[in-house]
Amino acid sequence: MSRARIATVWLDGCSGCHMSLLDLDEALIDLAPAIELVFGPLVDAQEFPENVDVTLVEGAVSSQDDLQLAQKVRARSRLVVALGDCAVTGNVPSMRNQIPPKQLLERIYVDGVNVNHRVPGDGVPPLLRQAVPLHEAIRVDLHVPGCPPPPAAIGHVLAELLAGRKPELAGKVKFG
| Shortest distance, position 18 Cβ to other proteins, whole Å | 16
Q: Taking CB under 8 A as the rule, does residue 11 contact other proteins?
A: no
Query: How far apart are the C-alpha atoms of 143 and 81, rounded to whole Å?
Result: 6
Is 21 or 60 the residue whose CB approaches other proteins more closely?
60
Sketch the per residue contact string, 65 through 84, with other proteins: x for CB under 8 A, - otherwise. Answer: -----------------x--
The torsion angle over the Cα atoms of residues 137, 141, 144 and 145, rounded to 10 degrees, is: 40
Nearest to 173 by CA among 139, 150, 142: 150
Nearest to 54 by CA among 154, 152, 173: 154
- Containing 31, the helix (H) or strand (E) segment is helix 27-31
Among 59, 143, 154, 156, binds other proteins (CB under 8 A): 143
Which residues contact other proteins by CB under 8 A? 82, 85, 88-92, 94-95, 97-98, 130, 132-133, 135-136, 140, 143-145, 147, 169-171, 173-176
